[in-house]
A and B are shown apart, each in its own frame.
Chain A
Amino acid sequence: MTAIKYNGLSPGPDGRPHKMQPRWRQDFPIDTPQDNYIARRDFTKFMILTSGAFVVGQLWIALHNHFRKRRGKPPEKAIAAVQDVAVGGAMGFRYPDRQLCMLIRPDQDIFLAYGNKCTHLHCPVRPMFSENKLQCPCHNGYFDLQTGRPLAGPPRLPLPRISLEIRGDVLYATGVELRT
């Protein structure tokens, strides 16, 4: 930015005086330093507006958390009979309301259940018993079959774990464990 002025006008962006500028610029002169000043000032104001939007976002999360706490623990729900799931098999169910979950039986006495939405972009995951993994086919994300923790690919958060109880021959979902 230069302080040299010609006939009260700032020099052009190339630093040459106003008289040496092309005709079109002489006819429609733009005060470049003033233009820069206003652009930066308005951008600063816009960033402060963005700052306010981030606070609104934080309060939105707090509000959602409040309602989540108020809902409390989801009720128990019978999801399947033990014999409905073959060893090395899986079945889907909805818990607590309409959330799609997956019940898997990797061994005779082991039942596991996870939320069936990949923590990356919510594609359904599928078990790969031979590799002891859960795979999200959308972006090749992998989770550990035993823990639901991410192993490879884009997902960074583990799958929500559904706690189970077996009473008699019936499997009950008793809660959802969100994890980081």
Chain B
Amino acid sequence: MIRTNFGAGSRPLPRRRRTTIVYGILCFVLTLVIVQLWLLTATMSAYLGGDDSVIWPAAFASLVCLGLNLGLLRYLIALERG
């Protein structure tokens, strides 16, 4: 059992719930990574075709995805520390 400081009060969080939360985070992270993969391949294709109009918007979108992932990582680390 670990304790978490999320929410009101400090309640112990059973491992089963922790694992469920990790599964949920993993689903979000995988979705975002797939979006990033698509962005990278589409940008590369556009770049090789001489179209540079999408490069910076795609880089920004990918950065936003990374930001969301880092937020989830922060939550994951906090979950471990309890």
* Residues in A lying within 8 Å of B, measured CB to CB: 1, 3, 33-34, 36-37, 40-41, 43-45, 47-48, 50-52, 54-55, 57-59, 61-62, 64-65, 68-69, 119, 157, 177-180
Contacts and interface: CB of A to CB of B under 8 A. Distances in A.
B50 A59 contact: no
Interface string B13-29: 00110110011011001
What 8 A-B pairs have minimum CB-CB distances, sorted nearest first?
Answer: A178-B50, A180-B49, A58-B59, A54-B36, A51-B69, A37-B19, A58-B62, A48-B69
A67 to B, nearest CB: 12
Contacts of A51: 29, 32-33, 36, 65-66, 69
Interface residues of B, number: 40
Nearest to A57: B40
A58 B52 contact: no
Contacts of A45: 73, 76
B48 interface: yes
Nearest to A2: B16
Contacts of A61: 40, 43-44, 47, 55, 59
28 contacts: A3-B16, A33-B16, A37-B15, A40-B22, A40-B26, A41-B22, A41-B76, A44-B25, A44-B29, A47-B33, A48-B70, A48-B72, A51-B69, A54-B33, A54-B37, A54-B65, A55-B62, A55-B63, A55-B65, A57-B40, A58-B43, A61-B47, A61-B59, A62-B56, A62-B59, A157-B48, A179-B50, A180-B45
